[in-house]
Every structure is written in C-alpha cells, then in structure tokens.
Amino acid sequence: MDAHLCLTNNFFTISDVIGGLQFPHVAGYHASVVVKNVLFRLPAKADNRSVPWVTYTSSELVQVVLNKGDARKKYGDTIKVLSWPDAGNDRAQAEGSHAV
C-alpha cells in the first residue's frame, strides 16, 4: 500500500478499497491523511503500525500494536504489560455490566 494512499496524482483510495485493515476508525484516519494532502498540501502519510483491533464479544477483546508474545520476541523480557478490569470503562458502566 502506498503510504500516501494515492494511486495517481488525481485519485486517492482509502479504507476497504485498498484492502488490509477494514475498520471504520481506519477509514476515518485514512480520510484525514487525504485531507492533509489535498486541502492543506501537507506531505502526510498513513502509518498503520498502531491500529487498535477489537473483537466485539462480551467483554470486548482489544489489541493495539503488538500482542504480548510478539513484543517479547521483538524486545525480549524487558517489556511491561499493563492490564486492568473493564469495570471502569464507559460502556461497562453504561450497561451496568461491571465484569472483572
């Protein structure tokens, strides 16, 4: 994929059209890159290295950047893993499902 999301000087393609990550938040991000290039003439490029992945279950499973196993392979045992219960997130509070 071209980091500028550009096929030619006249056509930009984003999101599902270019394949790869097909999430609404990626489409919005790609659109912002195009706007920076077209309207503001800034040399903006798409960087999809830290796109959040969500599996919509109850409770959702989320991953941003590397998973723990891949991070250990890449950086060794010096990584720090942070985790917390979902009881404090907005959706759990709104739905009254304070699962731990």
- Per-residue pLDDT reduced to its tens digit, 55-73: 777 767 777 778 888 889 9
DSSP for residue 39 = T
Spans of all domains in the chain: 1-51, 53-95
Alpha helices in the chain (DSSP H): 24-38, 68-75, 90-95
Q: Which of helix, strand or coil describes residue 36?
A: helix
Residues 86-98, mean pLDDT to the nearest whole number: 74
Reading the block at residue 1, the tokens are 């994929």
Q: What are phi and psi of 35, to 5 degrees?
A: -60, -45
The angle formed by the CA atoms of residues 29, 37 and 30, to the nearest 5 degrees, is 15
Per-residue pLDDT of 3-16, as tens digits, reads 556 555 667 777 77
